[in-house]
Amino acid sequence: MQILKRAFGEYVTNCYIVKGEQGDLVIDPGQGSFDWVMQNTGKIAAVLNTHGHYDHVYDDAKLQRMGAKIYIHEEDAFMLRTDPFETMPESIEADVLIKGQEQSLEIAGFNVKFSLFAGHTPGSCMIEVGGVIFSGDVIFKGSIGRWDFPFSSGAQMRESLHKILQIEGDFTLYPGHGPNTSLAAERQNLKYFLQFFER
Selection from 43, 58, 60 nearest residue 13 by Cα: 58
Give the tens place of pLDDT for each residue, 90-115.
Answer: 999 999 999 999 999 999 999 999 99
Give the tens place of pLDDT for each residue, 34-72.
Answer: 999 999 998 999 999 999 999 999 999 999 999 999 999
Which amino acid is residue 184, in one-letter code?
A
DSSP of 93-156 = --SEEE-SSEEEEEETTEEEEEEE--SSSTT-EEEEETTEEEEETTEETTEE----STT--HHH
Query: Any idea where the domains of the chain sit in the sequence?
Result: 2-197
- Could you tell me the pTM of the whole model? 0.96
Helix axes 183-197, 154-165, angle to 10 degrees: 140
Q: Is the pLDDT of residue 199 over 90?
A: no
CATH number of 2-197: 3.60.15.10
Rounded to the nearest angstrom, the gap between the alpha carbon of residue 175 and the centroid of all alpha carbons in its chain is 8
Residue 81 φ/ψ region, left for φ over 0, alpha for ψ in the -120 to 50 degree band, beta for the rest: alpha
